[in-house]
Structure formats: structure tokens, C-alpha cells
Chain A
């Protein structure tokens, strides 16, 4: 299949990613409501679908308030970072054969690098706000995301070993015979957990921790700057869900239906799973999270890597 014009595909992916993120706000609110015995937004448009439009109009019209005590340049930069890094990651995401902005041979590493950069956004937001709650949120974010990053990368190395490549389309193609979720089940679980931590959602929402830190790192943000964090979070959710389906569930591969449909089907099931997790779980304490990360997850990821490596060696 011939690739469309690069500008077109960049625009296409950006617009689709953004609209999915916006749509997710509605999906999440409706799904949460379903699981919480209530209605959720159902007033604006059919099934409340236009709620997103109403919310975006509101958030764009809000006063762009920058508190006088903040570190201004950093304060403005922080929400942009989260947005940019997540969008960049979408560039290496293969939606269907040929539908990809850039098929990098190190696509997976690029994704990991971008998600590491995303940490800066939260840390800088917490730091530049000059607010104690934001600072505590930023500190927690730094520690949490750094430690979960470590085994996030490691948990994927099993997949790389099996596929023999860092290129994401090639990884999908390598799953023609069997989805990697079966040989790499521990890796899948670890990546899922790391992905939750990476997107800072319950049970890993410690940087925000509403009942403790008010709003954590984005306490001082309002208007569209807050909106960037907000939409950035949803884009992160869709990115991680998409990555799970690409790396472990064969991306666009599937019978009968076209590849794009399979891709989105898989992606949305994981998004729904993320929402379900949010509806179900409480939040661990900061030190518990760290000790689970370093004492349980990291060794497991290493063992998984060793076992996979040994198996691959023996096989060939």
C-alpha cells in the first residue's frame, strides 16, 4: 500500500488522536456513571455526546489566568510538554498497514523516550507552581514515574526479543502466528501496570490524589492550560491502550473485518478496561507504590526478560 502524503498523515493522526481524547472524556464519564449507578452527562445532544463540544467551548473561553507567584516560563511550558510528547509518540504508532506517520526502525525506543520526557511536564508543573500541594504532587510524580519507567522498558524487551526488531509495524507482523500476549503474558501484565502508572490514573494517581493533595501538580492551573493536562491524560490513555494492542494483541491483525477496525476495537477495549480500573480500585500510599515497583515489578520484569532470552536462545 502506498503511503499518503506525510503532511496529510501527520494531520490525520493528530486530529484523530485529539478527537479520540476528547471523545474519551465523554466515554469515561458515561462508563464511570454506568458502573456507579448514575447517568453521567446525558443532556447535551443525543446521549450527551455534545457534552465534549460544550466543555471545549467553555475551557477555551476561560480566562487564561497565571498566578503572580509562579515561575512564568516554566509554568507555561509544562502543559505543552505533556501534549507534545504524547502526540509525538503517536507518530510511530501503526494503525493499519501503511497508516503510520513514520515507520522508525527504533519506533519502540522512540515511544519509551517520549514517555520519559512526559515526566518533565508533571515535575515542572509542580515545581513552577510555587504551591506546596503542587510541589508534593510533582515530587511524587518524579519518583513514581521514574521508577515505573524502568520496568516499563524492561517489560517490553521480551516482545523485542521475540520479534527481533524495534519497529512497531514489524512487531505487529511478527504476531501473525500467535499474539505476543500468550508467550509474553508476564510482560503484558507488567506493561499494563506500568502504563497505568505512566498515565497517572487510579490507582497510580498519586501526583493528583484529590483527597490528599487537592489537585496535586495542576492545582494552580486553569483554563486551557489545565485542559492540556486533561486532554494529555486522555491521549496518554489512548496511546497506552493502542500500544498494548500493537505490542501484545496483534495490532490490526484479525479476521474478516478491516485492520483499522480491529485496531480501534482492541484499543477501545483497553480504554474501557482503564476506566473500569479507575472505577474499582483505591489508591496505594506513595512508599507502598515505590516498594512494589522496585521490589516486585522490577525483579519480575528481569526474570521475564531472562526467561524469554533463554527460550529464544534454546529455540533457535
Chain B
């Protein structure tokens, strides 16, 4: 296929026939390149091209061996997919590399982006694709003793497809041995000059890690020499499940990715699904979605606010913010019937119309929260001990943040006013008035400042939703909207059949692929979906902000002390399920 977009032309000018192009449903310029030209091309895109693609947004792979519809694509068993983001162009580019099964390796890009480190380990872990020259190519989500690569199509998806689990004494010993901590394997030395290091195991059960995160700390006294996170304890194979669940029944699984984000996850997933299906969501449904998503942004930020203060050693705020969150949940509950995981958005709209009296609940909340925030400013943000603990601790520059794939409030705290709601509006965000809060220093305190202001901005958006809620349908009448609008089901046979198929098998999405990315509570959450023209997704890739953020821990914490590490962890605002999926 010929080059259609500007960047594709630039790639052709430079790399000529080594590149082929593909058109995708999300209209992201997509280029196929050969294995050996990957580093050169990526370096070209990051450093040489005008308006460069500074961020490695995502790196994943697709097992193509069972895929039936690959018209116009080069032959490939395993395809590695790079998503790059250019802030100057406000545009993504997708680079694909075709690999043969028996030669599943390609050169590493860790020298171009430090952030590639974990992504490449994940691709190795999940697909068995090796990256030559990677500094530490170990499994990342699965245990070291795991056999097989789970996202390969031949790997069983559920326990019933494999034999019962047996733990023989030999296996038990081997598993225990595999758990033994050897600093060398983690890339840490045991001593420096005249001092022996202490190795402190922080987590996976530790009050400061907000979940099952394990950190191996290399300490000189209480000073952190290095910190290496071990993740994967919360891995539940969400991407693999995407390959068995119908497009519709996968929605509840998304709620549990960023489990503080509730319907925000539905929104990210459905943005991608609706791009595949070509559904335009009716205005009322859009506004309802925005309203609930922003309420969940507030809910998530409130949890962060309280727990962050607790990480700094303040014991009361967590009770205050959780009480506020409870009020927000009572609204969510009245509308959706559930609290943390409503799974309430549907393909083409939302599950039901708003109940009677919803405006009053929102208005009460909009009046209730701002005075509370003023109080928290006094008790938390203006407390001098709090300031002494958070200012100048764990700071990024914009360039470093971009380099590490940091998005969301953490990126805005460095001074870059990049908000996907404004830059690449989705779901009708272009119709709302709100500001993008930013800060300057990118330290723990500034990250807090940005989030707190975001709560206020979200309230503004919600207020606009309440004041301007359009009338009309809450779900699209597109044939792929699921479950379909039911009004005419009992009146004509065509609608009845569509309805029946759509609720029993589920909708069949058109062949193609799409990335749907939104400004979620913690940063950019993207779903990259590949449809092979069936009732289930062929590949569901979930790009989460927390994964990128937690990888920055080592550079942020080196040279500081354990209390600072805990504060940095709190300020990054991650959720373990969002890291491990």
C-alpha cells in the first residue's frame, strides 16, 4: 500500500522499499518494517524527523498464526507492535515488525527509550520474543519457573484446559529455590567501597506499597542505592481473557484493570470497540459517560489524596476523603446499581437511562465537595511537615517524563499541559470548558497540586453535564450496539433476530484493528484491539499508565531514603491491577 499520511511519506523518503503500509480502522499511520531496520527507524522517528515522536507509548505483540483476515499484510507469525506518540504533531504512529516463529527475536530498543526495558520483558514473557542486547531479559509478569508464553495462541487460557496442578516435593523445593533472593540476578552488587549493602525486601505485603508490589531495596544505611520493583503478583491474564470473552462480556473485566477508575476503564475499551464497529454514540449517552467518568476521576483522586497523606504519616485525611468518596459512590450506586465496578457502559451507549432525581444528587455533591477541598488544603497541602516531606522529592523534568512514557497528572506536574481530553478529544470532551492544571517542578508536591486541581476541574465538567444534559437516546441504534435497543424486538422478526444473535453470541465486529486511548484517572489508558471478524477479540492489548509510571521508580528514588520512597510511591498514584493486568 502506498504512503497516505505525512509521516508515512517521510518514512518512505528515508527507508524506501524496506517499509510497507497498512490502513487501520483508527487511521493511525501504520508501517511494517523489517526486523533489522527497527532500531534505525525508531531512532529516526524519535530523533531525526521534524516534530519527532518522543514517547514510546506502547510496545506489544500479536500472535498472528491463527488469524484469518490479514489481507495486504506481510507474512508473519509473531508481530511486534510499537506505538509512538508525537506531542508536536499530536499524532501516534504504529510500527509493526513481522517475525517468523523459528526466528522470534529482534534488536532491543532500550538504548533509545529506557522505558522499553519493561515492555520488552513483557513481550518476552508473554510471547517468547527475544530482544537481543536487552540488559536484563527476564520474565516480568509470570513467575520465573513458568513454562510457556501465555499470550501465544497455543497456551491454554483456562485451568480446565490443562491437567490438575500438582506440587511434588521436588517441585516444591525447586519453586522455593527459584524464590531465593540473589542480588546478582537483579543486577545489584553486594558491597561498595568499604560498606556492605543491606538488602531490604519491601512487599509484596507492606502497608506502603498500596497492594502486592515487591521492591528489592539496596540500602547503604537508610539511603537507597537502587530499588528494583518486582511486579506480576496481581496478574490475572486480562489480555488473554479478552481473547475468550465476547466483545460485550469483556466490559466487566475492564472495570477491574484500574480498579479505582470504574467506568473510566469501560470508556477506554469502548472507545476502541466503537472505532472498530463504526458506532457514533448519541449525545445523551456521551454526556452521561463524561459525567460518570469524571465522577470516577474524582473518586480515584480522593483515594489517592487520603492514602498519599497517609504515606506521609498523616492518619486522618484518609478517613475524610473516603467519606467523600462514599458520597460519590452513593450517586454511582443510584445510577448504576454498583459501586466500584459498575460495568455500566455498553457498546454504543450506556446500560440504562438516568434515574429520576439524578440532578439533585450531582448538584448536592458539587456543592459539598469544594469546601471540603479547601479544608484539606489547610490540613494537608499547607502543613509545613507535609511540604518538607514532598517538595523537591522525586522530581522529573518534562524530557525525562516523556522518555519514560509518563502521562496524566504526573506528566502535567512537570509543566507539560498535555491532556488527551483537550488534545485528542473523545466522547465529546471538545464541548466542555475546563482548564488543564499544571505545575512546574515535577516533584511529589506538584503531582499532588495537579491532582487536587483536577478534582475541581472535574466538578466543573460534571456541573456542565448536569446543566446541559441533552435529551434523546442513551444508546445508539447501530446494529452492533449491545444489547440492542429493545423497543422493536417484539414487533418485527429482523430486529428480533439481530437482538437474539447479539445477546446470545454477541456482536461480530468488522475485521480490523483500532487503538482507543483516553485520559484515564492515572494517565493514558489505551486499548489496542484486533478483530478477526468474530464474536471475540483476536488480540486485546491494554496499555496502562501505572505500568509506565512504576518503572520510573528507580531513577526517582535513587539516593533518597526509605521514607522518601514511600512518598514517591504514593505520589505516582498507581494501582497494582493497572500494572499487572
Contact = CB atoms under 8 A, between A and B. Distances in A.
Contacts of B206: 214
B198 A203 contact: no
A282 interface: yes
B452 interface: no
Contacts of A212: 208, 562-563, 566
Contacts of A209: 313, 563
A281 B311 CA distance: 12
Given A136-B222, A203-B385, A282 B314 contact: yes
Given A212-B208, A285-B561, A286-B563, A37 B312 contact: no
B76 interface: no
B313 A202 contact: yes
A285 B563 CA distance: 6
Contact of B320 (A36, A136, A211): A36
B316 A211 contact: no
A64 interface: no
A198 interface: no
Interface in A203-220: 203, 205, 209-214
Interface in A110-134: 132-133
Contacts of A281: 313-314, 383, 385
Given A282-B385, A285-B564, A37 B313 contact: no
Nearest to A132: B200
Contacts, number: 80
Given A212-B208, A281-B383, A282-B383, A202 B315 contact: yes
A280 B316 CA distance: 7
Nearest to A284: B385
Given A202-B315, A211-B207, A279-B315, A136 B562 contact: yes
Interface string B378-421: 01100101101100000000000000000000000000000000
A284 B393 CA distance: 13
B433 to A, nearest CB: 33
The main secondary structure of chain B at its interface with chain A is helix
A214 B566 CA distance: 12
A265 to B, nearest CB: 26
A38 interface: yes
Interface string B277-312: 000000000000000000000000000000001111
A36 B319 contact: yes
Contact of A211 (B200, B208, B385): B208
B319 A282 contact: no
Interface in A22-56: 32, 35-38
A286 B561 contact: yes
A45 to B, nearest CB: 24
Contacts of A283: 312-314, 385, 389, 563
B375 to A, nearest CB: 12
A282 B198 contact: no
A284 B222 contact: no
Contacts of A37: 319-320, 323
B389 A210 contact: no
A288 B311 CA distance: 17
B323 A287 contact: no
Given A202-B315, A287-B561, A282 B207 contact: no
Nearest to B199: A132
B393 to A, nearest CB: 9
Interface string A133-161: 10010010000000000000000000000
Nearest to B386: A282
15 contacts: A32-B315, A32-B316, A133-B200, A136-B222, A139-B222, A202-B315, A203-B313, A211-B208, A211-B310, A214-B207, A281-B385, A282-B385, A283-B385, A283-B389, A286-B563
Which 4 A/B pairs are nearest by Cβ-Cβ distance?
A283-B313, A282-B314, A36-B319, A282-B312
Given A136-B200, A202-B315, 16 more contacts: A32-B315, A37-B320, A37-B323, A209-B563, A211-B207, A211-B566, A212-B566, A213-B562, A280-B316, A282-B389, A283-B314, A284-B388, A285-B389, A285-B561, A285-B564, A288-B389
